[in-house]
């Protein structure tokens, strides 16, 4: 046991405790990420295909923030697009291709909702959209999913483009919008009547359905917790081996304490019974024949 009382083993124990603590915390972090993802997936599955409601339900006032449980809620409004205020949101990916989102304010006369109509590919040469898909004329009945507005990135804005979907950035390009909803924007599901077909070089692609996979976070959490159990088991195995090696070394050197310890393990009834003469195994017929042939049985 003297081996385990050295600074080397004390340091090893501290390292094991630190590793176990780190693994437990990393496992908890991954588990919390799983819980957050699972809650978001449950919200999508509950709201995405539900019947549309008036925006006043999830957004009682224009300045109301969209609650997490109302994310992807379907809403319907009747009004008009403000085509003169059409903008494009930069650096948005669809099917691994970088392009733009077409963002247009939609108003019913009292309220204004920023609406993403879809995704547009980028031009081949300049950092601009390949085109501006046409909007439906006149009064339109819009159905859209509500999403929380995005944070401001604080980057310089390009004329006709924004970096993120938030009211200050948009109104910096369009000017004041009447009754604009500041806590959410919409992603278009349908329009009635529909817009004229877009040019083939600048198609308007619908916003992709969100993923509902919770990812590997739960399995990662259990892996970290398994690692947390591995370190103390490894420490105990290594410590036991060190104690046995120390005892064997002392026994070889003639240390009476080590010999006494060894004797206490081997001089008991079990050791005596193990050392007793075992009965001779009965020979098989084949063995007897072999002995007769070789003369060993004579």
For every residue of 188-199, DSSP letters joined together read EEEEESPPPPPP
pLDDT score for 287: 57
Same domain, 55 and 182: yes
Banded model confidence at residue 286, pLDDT cuts 50, 70, 90 = low
Statement: residue 240 has pLDDT above 90: no
Winning range, highest mean pLDDT, from 5-14, 108-117, 253-262: 108-117
Q: Do 59 and 163 fall into the same domain?
A: yes
pLDDT in tens, 137-166: 999 999 999 999 999 887 777 889 999 999
pLDDT of residue 274: 44
179 in the same domain as 114: yes
Strand 97-107, strand 87-94: pairing:
antiparallel
Same-domain pairing of 77 and 177: yes
**Residue-level pLDDT at 141:** 98
Q: Are residues 105 and 236 in the same domain?
A: no
- Does a structural domain hold residue 142? yes
Check whether residue 59 and residue 151 sit in a common domain.
yes
Tell me what percent of the residues of the chain surpass a pLDDT of 70.
83
- 111 lies in some domain: yes
Quote the domain boundaries for residue 101.
50-192
Q: What is the pLDDT of residue 223?
A: 95
pLDDT digits (tens, 9 = 90+) for 92-138: 999 889 999 999 999 998 999 999 999 999 998 778 999 999 999 99
- Positive or negative, the CA dihedral 178, 181, 182, 187 is negative
Query: Which own/partner pairs from 123-130 qualify as long-range (CB within 8 Å, at least 24 positions apart)?
Result: 127/90, 127/158, 128/88, 128/161, 129/88, 129/99, 129/100, 129/102, 129/202, 130/99, 130/201, 130/202
- 242 shares a domain with 168: no
Q: How many C-beta atoms lie closer than 10 Å to residue 160's C-beta?
A: 13
* Same domain flag for 54 and 165: yes
In percent, how much of the chain has pLDDT > 90? 63
pLDDT greater than 50 at residue 279: no
In a domain, 78, yes or no: yes
The pTM for the full model equals 0.71
Residue 180: pLDDT band (50, 70, 90) is very high
Q: What is the mean pLDDT of residues 250-254?
A: 74
Mean pLDDT computed over every residue of the chain: 85
pLDDT of 57-74, one tens digit each? 999 999 999 999 999 999
| In a shared domain, residues 64 and 150 | yes
DSSP β-bridge partners for residue 99: 92, 121
Q: In which region does residue 193 sit, left (phi positive, over 0), alpha (psi from -120 to 50) or beta (all else)? A: beta
Question: Sorting pLDDT into bands at 50, 70 and 90, what band is 4?
Answer: low
Asked if the structure places residue 286 within a domain, the reply is: no
Q: Which of 102-106, 160-164, 196-200, 219-223 has the lowest mean pLDDT?
A: 196-200
153 and 236 inside one domain: no
pLDDT band at 242 (very low <50, low <70, confident <90, very high): confident
Return the closest-CA partner of residue 56 out of 43, 75, 69.
75
Q: Are residues 132 and 64 in the same domain?
A: yes
Name the pLDDT band for 219 (thresholds 50, 70, 90).
Answer: very high
Task: Give the per-residue pLDDT at 107.
Answer: 96
Token readout for 229 is 């159990």
């Amino acid at each position: 046991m003297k081996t385990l009382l050295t600074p080397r083993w004390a340091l090893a124990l501290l390292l094991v405790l630190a590793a176990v603590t780190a693994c437990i915390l990393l496992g908890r972090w991954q588990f919390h990420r799983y819980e957050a993802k699972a809650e978001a997936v449950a919200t999508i599955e509950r709201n995405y295909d539900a019947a549309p409601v008036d925006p006043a339900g999830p957004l009682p006032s224009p300045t109301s923030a969209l609650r997490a449980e109302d994310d992807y809620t379907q809403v319907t409004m009747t009004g008009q697009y403000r085509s003169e205020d059409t903008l494009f949101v930069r650096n948005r990916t669809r099917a691994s291709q970088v392009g733009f989102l077409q963002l247009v304010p939609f108003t019913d006369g009292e309220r204004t909702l920023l609406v993403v109509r879809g995704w547009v590919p980028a031009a081949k040469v300049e950092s601009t959209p390949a085109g501006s898909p046409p909007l439906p004329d006149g009064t339109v009945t819009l159905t859209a999913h509500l999403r929380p507005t995005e944070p401001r990135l604080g980057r310089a804005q390009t004329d006709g483009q924004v970096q993120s979907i938030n009211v200050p950035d948009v109104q910096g390009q369009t000017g004041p919008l009447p009754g604009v909803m500041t806590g959410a924007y919409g992603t278009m599901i349908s329009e009635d009547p529909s817009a004229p077909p877009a040019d083939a070089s600048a198609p308007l692609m619908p916003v992709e359905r969100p993923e509902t996979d919770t990812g590997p976070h739960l399995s990662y959490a259990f892996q970290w917790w398994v690692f947390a159990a591995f370190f103390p088991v490894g420490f105990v195995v290594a410590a036991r081996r060190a104690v046995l090696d120390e005892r064997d070394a002392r026994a070889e050197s003639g240390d009476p304490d080590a010999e006494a310890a060894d004797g206490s393990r081997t001089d008991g009834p079990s050791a005596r019974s193990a050392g007793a003469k075992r009965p001779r195994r009965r020979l098989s017929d084949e063995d007897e024949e072999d002995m007769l042939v070789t003369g060993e049985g004579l």
